[in-house]
Structure 1
Amino acid sequence: MKNQNTSSAFTHNDVVDIRFIFKVWLRWIWILIPLILIGLFFGYRDLKNFRPHYEAKIVIANNEGKTRQTSEISQILFAFSNSESGLSPKLSRLKLVLESPFLAERLQEKYNLLPQVFSESWDTKSGEWMIPSGKDFERSESRRAFFKQPKWTEPDIESLAGFISGSIEFEDTDLGFIEVIFAHKDKNKAKEYLEMIYFEADSLIREKDQLYVNERLKYLLKKLNVEKRVDQRQILITLLKEEQNRVMLLDSSEPYAAKIIEPVYVSRTPTAPNIRFMFGVPIIISIFFGFMILTLYALFIIESPNRR
């Protein structure tokens, strides 16, 4: 009998009083008002900081139709060359190259983009970079110094690469294609930069593959000259034909890294803020946070010895 009473006591203590939690909610519901106001403040801040921009887009598709025969030939070549390196899928390489400092350096050498991209810090008269000034800049530099962050420096290749990677993105379409999107506040610049960056990256990948294929051709020819076995020579001849076909494709004037489904175009109107998202998400988070605090407070009271 004693054990039953003890068990009942434990069970009673372990039960959460839902009615008491609801009473706490109703009593302290007013605490949600300042939390909602805080959420509205964050939404207003995001709305105030929103900067509309135009989106230039180009729709592409995977241009790498890898057949079973090509795959087998690549495996055979791997066995001959004993190399662990190989070409990654073109589309993945395109994404990588578009965000690489190597492409940014190439663009800077050909088009001198740094003064254009960071024009607010460039003095056209003196041809030198201007150090920003003002209270906002001084406060920013003070915060950077306090948190051991690097201070302001003149824009360089890494800055240009960061601008490109921050402005460009890839989105999958419902039809299975990929949209390459470049965002900029100026409509004409959005289109100009996307065309310049995309086709320069495509050209860079083509040049790299041309060097790679030429090296493979040299290797296969060298191997063919010394190979005496008939069966191995036949394999090498097949590989040579495959590489010669690749050379022909590389010499084509068509885009190389990906097939262009739709050429570059720019949205007619700039982007607009998503009001529901900007204000709705902070408000929902504030309400959730408020109820969580009230629930924890109610559980604390329930578990307190004085209430027991």
Structure 2
Amino acid sequence: MWTDDLFVPAPGFEKHMLSEWFDGLKGTPADNPVYIQKGEEPGGTVLILGGTHPTEPAGMMAAVLFLERAKVSRGRLIIIPQTNIMGYSHTSPQEAHPRSISFTTADGGKRTFRFGSRLTNTLYEWPAPDIYIHPASGQQLPGKERGNINRCYPGIPDGSPTEQMAYGITQLILKEKPDLSFDLHEASPEYPVVNAIVAHERSMELAAMTVMDLEDMGIAMRLEPSPKNLRGLTHREWGDYTETMPILMETGNPVQGRLRGRTDEKLALTGVDKAYVVASALGRLYIPYDGKQTIEYRAGRHTTSILAFLDNLDLLFDDKGVSVEGVPNLAELEEKGLGFFLSPAGR
């Protein structure tokens, strides 16, 4: 029987639905929980999206860590942990992906989260066109990409379910006016844009400062400019259609790669794959690979990067600072495990 994933928001978060910003989503599978926490001191607003692609679990889990651990003392924090919620109701055909991933919590309990598909469930996007024409630009893509929310921004109110969901998120950004917005992703180790930050030109100064800080921490991070002719993606359309500073981040995830072996929960959590050991020795990868790529490491890159961005946001714009405590960084996640920081309440 279908049950939604359980999230246990930290004290102070209020649950909303995306249909509050675009009522065309109300009562549809595209309506999505949105969580907001407001600090006691005035400041800026930050938006964090996980689960844009449900095959990229470190993005979702980093957002969940902020949702379940964050204590906001200044400004506002908005979190959507499973952005393409319609992608969590199925897995990708012929990929042999696991149906879920699980974590052991500090009390010995178990938390389970769905592992979905990169695309919206075809039940909602059927029939897919032969060619998807991006409404705002005329860009042409394979028809299935209409189910990829990160090719649908800024969205349209009368489009497909995925386009409407993208429109709802754009409306949220326009109305709530986040100063800084994150879209958390993962990529295959053989893909050039990996362990990377992709920044709109308006976000570039802030991103460059953060990359230097991360390098000082021993976290290597590429900085990529958002291509102006690659349309429909958060790092381009959020920057062009709203006032926010968009940031997309990628970690290296062997479960997505074409070189992988058995694709199961273990691979999603550990990143251990002997084929990638060989590929690394041959110089075919764009990340350092020592035989593993754990979800603690991948999610920790995201949480540590976001925390560094928040520090620099306060430095550059002292009236837009957002102060957050309680979220584990990379070192803490690798020491104690991701499950240690999840609420023990669960199934």
Please give the range of the TM-score, normalised by the shorter of the 2 chains.
under 0.3
Greater helix share, 1 or 2? 1
Of structures 1 and 2, the larger Rg is shown by 1
Q: Which structure carries more relative contact order (alpha carbon 8 Å, separation 6+)?
A: 1
Q: Which has the higher strand share?
A: 2
After TM superposition, the score normalised by the length of structure 1 is 0.25
